[in-house]
Chains A and B, each alone.
Chain A
Amino acid sequence: GEDVEQSLFLSVREGDSSVINCTYTDSSSTYLYWYKQEPGAGLQLLTYIFSNMDMKQDQRLTVLLNKKDKHLSLRIADTQTGDSAIYFCAESKGGSYIPTFGRGTSLIVHP
């Protein structure tokens, strides 16, 4: 299987919470990231978490890490239409710290 896996699509109603999930295979991952890509744009680093943390909160964003299950999630509270984008999960490890990406989850926010 892939090193980093995500579901491909998520559809939510405006104002609801969105939860995007990701699993990874390498237990030696040091950093785990969430990137956002809007149409025609590059990748914007949204947030990241060190592997020795289990939660990080930044305004509407909450990242949860279950290191035992190698599961990462991104929760977006009060989702807005401007949050519609592709969200990429990525991990990197010591040495080169080259990020390895999932295939991305397309978040669709509808009124």
Chain B
Amino acid sequence: GAGVSQSPSNKVTEKGKDVELRCDPISGHTALYWYRQSLGQGLEFLIYFQGNSAPDKSGLPSDRFSAERTGGSVSTLTIQRTQQEDSAVYLCASSTPRGRAFFGQGTRLTVV
């Protein structure tokens, strides 16, 4: 596609429910990144994919968070048993292996 696409753009969920956030990277970009941006905060790195593998999961805040990438393209970030502190904007970016990262518009997650 023309840019990084994320869906949904907004998600409101009840505490304790599971959510899935989707990222469709720019065609041909092998690297994919997930970040979290909490209100008034900078960008917190969550996980990085190179192709389908995730060499760096160091930023995932707890074992409730997981991500996968299939076919070297679309990625899904799953948050199980959501908590109110999970409320944030989740941003996805993609890049060529040594290129600049281009971001999607983000998914605003609100846990009530």
Hey, which bits of chain A sit against chain B, CB under 8 A?
31, 33, 35, 41-45, 48, 88, 92, 94, 96-104
Question: Contact: A88 with B43, CB < 8 Å?
Answer: yes
Given contacts A41-B105, A96-B56, contact A102 B45 (CB under 8 A): no
Asked if B97 is at the interface (CB within 8 A of a chain A CB), the reply is yes
Hey, which bits of chain B sit against chain A, CB under 8 A?
4, 6, 31, 33, 35, 41-43, 45, 48, 50, 55-56, 91, 93, 95, 97-106
Can you identify 15 A-B contacts, CB atoms within 8 angstroms? A35-B103, A41-B105, A41-B106, A88-B43, A96-B31, A96-B50, A97-B101, A98-B45, A98-B56, A99-B93, A99-B101, A101-B42, A102-B42, A103-B41, A104-B42
Question: Contact: A48 with B45, CB < 8 Å?
Answer: no
Question: Contact: A101 with B48, CB < 8 Å?
Answer: no
- A43: B residues at CB distance < 8 A: 43, 91, 93, 103
Question: Contact: B43 with A101, CB < 8 Å?
Answer: yes
Question: Contact: B103 with A44, CB < 8 Å?
Answer: yes
Question: Contact: A42 with B98, CB < 8 Å?
Answer: no
CB distance from B82 to the nearest CB of A (A): 22
Cα–Cα, bound, A104→B44 (Å): 12
Question: Contact: A31 with B100, CB < 8 Å?
Answer: yes
- B98: A residues at CB distance < 8 A: 94, 97
With A33-B101, A98-B48, A102-B42 given, name 6 new contacts (CB 8 A): A41-B105, A41-B106, A45-B103, A94-B98, A97-B95, A104-B42
Chain B residue nearest in CB terms to A104:
B42
Chain B residue nearest in CB terms to A97:
B98
Cα–Cα, bound, A41→B6 (Å): 12
Question: Contact: B55 with A96, CB < 8 Å?
Answer: yes
Question: Contact: B31 with A97, CB < 8 Å?
Answer: yes
